[in-house]
Amino acid sequence: MLRLIRCLACAASPLALLACTPVPQAPLPDTLGNPLAVEAGYRLLFNDTLVGNAFFALRIDADHSYVLEALTTPAGKMEQAAGHEILESSRGNVDGALVQPEEFTHSVIDGEHIKVERLLFDWDKRLLRRIDGEATQTVSLQPGTHDRLSYLLAARHLASAAGDAVEIEIASPRASEKTRLELQDAEPIEVPAGRFRALGITRATAENGETRSLWFDVEASPLPLRVSHSWDGNTVEMVLETLSQVPGDPH
């Protein structure tokens, strides 16, 4: 398992997520079907003000199974209580263009209280189960459905394949949203981790006045360099600060 679990013990301090030391990266394969293990630390900004940190860990094994985990430690305006953390996990299979999540877990740690919500994807029966405590809802599972983490892998494939656009559905524990990912031209961007030439991807939304964008350097990382969401003159950003490859080959 990636070092995410070990980082949980020190995550009480937002700075703890920045302690992972980056190591030199070899160019990554264009396909996400090959084994890899990557960790990335991000700053969370609201209108250019630091409001938290996030730590992502992605592992793809030789059998094409993947685990993508994200630990977010809000601060300032985003912090609701002492010890407030958000842990999300997506597990499934990935082979090139095909990314199929099997389970998504969203956990909110608020002091001594933990709230857990889950999504279970049954691709054989085409059913999606939403579990919130003792409440369970089962709905039809549409082709191309993703969770809030697995869609990042679909966006990365779009960038590496240099396709024009892809229609997907993003499921959450409460609802699903149809969206369109559209590839934009490459442009230089600068984040705390360095300067990159990145491909932009816009995430179309039904809400007028909202703009969602992601930027990838497919040779540097399978995870985005930057993610932004703008509305009503406000912008929330997640910008890459550290990037490291876990020693040893996934198996």
pLDDT, tens digit only, all 251 positions of the chain: 333 433 433 333 333 333 333 333 434 444 576 889 999 999 999 999 999 999 999 999 999 999 999 999 987 666 655 568 999 999 999 987 789 999 999 999 887 789 999 999 999 999 999 999 888 999 999 999 999 999 999 999 888 876 688 889 999 888 888 889 999 989 999 999 999 999 999 998 766 678 899 999 988 889 999 999 999 999 999 999 999 976 445 54
Q: Which two tokens stand for residue 101?
A: 């999540």
Q: Which two tokens stand for residue 178?
A: 């149809």
Residue 250 lies in a domain: no
188 within 8 A of 197, measured Cβ to Cβ = yes
- Separation between Cα atoms, residue 38 and residue 22, nearest integer Å: 10
69 within 8 A of 92, measured Cβ to Cβ = no
Residue with tokens 């990557």: 38
- Separation between Cα atoms, residue 30 and residue 248, nearest integer Å: 20
pLDDT in tens, 211-226: 899 999 988 889 999 9
Residue 26 DSSP class: P
Residue 251 lies in a domain: no
Q: Which stretch of DSSP H or E encloses residue 74?
A: strand 65-74
Q: Which two tokens stand for residue 213?
A: 């964008």
Question: Number of structural domains, the chain?
Answer: 1
* Three-point CA angle 194, 196, 202, nearest 5°: 120
Q: Which domain range does residue 205 map to?
A: 4-245
**pLDDT at position 192, please?**
96
**pLDDT at position 215, please?**
97
Q: Which two tokens stand for residue 115?
A: 């709230």
Residue 47 lies in a domain: yes
Q: Which residues sit opposite 56 in a β-bridge?
A: 40, 70
